[in-house]
């Protein structure tokens, strides 16, 4: 039975950098995931209060997932996704194309969809556990 908390849709943008330094972004839409955003407050040593968004994403185990090394080796990445630091997650299904030139850069994409978009900062493959999933954290 699917987890009743997995009700969201996200779009993942995976960055692939070829040996010749050409950067290409691959888009994958995932349905029935768990998405949570929150505001985190931090007080610095100088008693300065800062606030930042924090994100958690859980993706149910999927045959379309490939670890980074396997995904990068694929000739045809369509229909597959991976999770890596600095890849981008957008809440909802979006069709934007990311390129190296403005107004279609990764930074432009993040700006367009903030606060519902983030860069992956860490992830873990929990697919071998009961209720297997991939956990993503971002800022």
At 95-136, the pLDDT tens digits run 999 999 999 999 999 999 999 999 999 999 999 988 899 999
Domain borders along the chain are 8-138
Instruction: State the pTM of this model.
Output: 0.91
At 6-58, the pLDDT tens digits run 999 999 999 998 888 889 999 999 999 999 999 988 888 888 888 889 999 99
Between CA 130 and CA 139, with CA 133 as vertex, the angle to 5 degrees is 140
């Amino acid at each position: 039975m699917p987890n009743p908390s997995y009700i969201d849709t996200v779009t993942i943008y995976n960055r692939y950098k070829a040996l010749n330094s050409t950067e290409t972004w691959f888009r994958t839409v995932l349905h029935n995931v768990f998405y949570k955003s929150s505001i985190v407050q931090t007080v610095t040593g100088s008693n300065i209060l800062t606030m930042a968004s924090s994100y958690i994403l859980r993706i149910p185990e999927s045959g379309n997932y490939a670890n980074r090394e396997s995904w990068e080796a694929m000739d045809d990445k369509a229909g597959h996704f991976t999770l890596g630091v600095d890849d981008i997650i957008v809440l909802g299904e979006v069709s934007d194309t990311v390129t190296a030139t403005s107004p279609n850069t990764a930074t432009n994409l993040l700006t367009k969809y903030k606060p519902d978009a983030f860069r992956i900062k860490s992830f873990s493959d929990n697919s071998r556990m009961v209720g297997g999933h991939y956990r993503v954290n971002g800022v």
